[in-house]
Amino acid sequence: MPFFQHSDVSLFYTDEGAGQPLLLLHGFGSDSHDWSFQIPALLSASYRVIAFDHRGHGRSTNPPTASPTSYHPNTLAADAIALLQHLSIPSIVLVAHSLSTIISSLITVTQPSLVKALVLIHPIYGATPPVLKSLATDLRADLPNAPQLAADFFGKVSPRTPEWIQTWARRRMLGTAPECVAGCLEGLVALEGQVTGQGEGAKSFLRRRAAPRFVVSGIDVAVEWEREIGIKEGIDELHVVREGTYLHLVEGETVNGLLVGWLGRTVRDLIHGFHLEMEVNCGVGYGREFIEVVGWLLVGSNNLLWPEEGPDIIDLLADKGCPVATPPYPEIRS
């Protein structure tokens, strides 16, 4: 079933493919259809792709009774974590857009062992301008018209954004429940100075994200903030794609090429890093064969070739007291 019940909401999600799992998180007033350009490319690259609709968005439901925290980013983050627990996924690569770049950052800082890598498309945590605070106040004051007010405000997109994308985005915002629209923006504003904005508190928080980071943005202030936070050379990547909010749709092929390339290198590096850690902690080293076997254990990926002697190496690791999986072993893939 593509629905998961968490607390008082039903969350819609899709789960396709095999390999390293990726969780795709959409932006404010949108839904997981926003990833329609990325999902086929990621599946073709042999990843397991999970995409879900945040509460109150798309096909996911709203809570029957809203509270001040019903749509806070922390609450949306808890929904995502609960879904991963429901699917028995111990580690994930988060792929986030817009509002979800904040949600994914919260998850990465509070659940560091859960997040193996972080993809941020059009990150918005670098600034919470006063106009957003005013908009949040206006939405609450005129709650029945909140979707209309939000659609008008966020309808100002790049002139290169095709009309069909503008229409698609507007209609989805108009179809979002007023309480969800107001609550999400209020939750965003509430994080000013702690997670969002460019103060020392936000900088300190964002620097606690230890996972490898891939960032794509076309906004100068966002690009400079990423550099200020810090880009780890050879691990993180920061790309400038001159487009607005929907750059992953307008420049889908460009973004997909950059993303798939980085993911491939990052998953490989995670495997090699675990290999070195196991050598130190368990006194073992089996070169390429070891990496291929332990790679699946580390990143949940079965798109690596297993050597024929794989189970024997597993037994050797177990004898040395190292953490290993138990049969049945993943199917060998060519």
Q: What is the mean pLDDT of residues 218-231?
A: 93
- Is a pLDDT exceeding 70 seen at residue 318? no
Amino acid at 226: E
CA geometry: angle 310, 23, 241, nearest 5 deg: 110
- pTM value is 0.82
φ, ψ for residue 216, nearest 5 deg:
-130, 125
pLDDT of residue 249: 93
Query: 18-22, 51-55, 101-105, 328-332: which has the minimum mean pLDDT?
Result: 328-332
> Average pLDDT of 147-176?
90
List, in order, residues 6 or more apart from 224 with CB less than 8 Å away.
Answer: none
pLDDT-derived band at 290 (thresholds 50, 70, 90) equals very low
Are 93 and 23 a contacting pair, CB within 8 Å? yes
Assigned CATH class of 3-250: alpha beta
Question: Quick one: tokens of 8?
Answer: 């008082």
Nearest partner of 302 among 44, 16, 21, 15, judged by Cα: 21
Residues written for the chain: 334
Would you place residue 137 in the very low, low, confident or very high pLDDT band (cuts 50, 70, 90)? very high
Displacement of CA 286 from its chain's centroid (Å): 33
Lookup: tokens for 282 = 């368990």
Mean pLDDT of the chain: 84
Provide mean pLDDT across the span 245-255: 94
Give the model's pLDDT for residue 155. Answer: 83
User: Could you state, in order of their start, the residue ranges of all structural domains in the chain?
Assistant: 3-250, 272-319
Phi/psi zone of residue 291: left (φ > 0), alpha (ψ -120 to 50 degrees), beta?
alpha
Residue with tokens 């190292």, as numbered in its chain? 322
pLDDT band for 294, please (50, 70, 90 cuts): very low
User: Sorting pLDDT into bands at 50, 70 and 90, what band is 280?
Assistant: very low
If you compute the radius of gyration of the chain from its CA atoms, what whole number of angstroms results? 21
Q: In whole angstroms, give the CA distance from residue 291 to residue 23.
A: 24
Helix (H) or strand (E) holding 267, with range, is helix 252-282
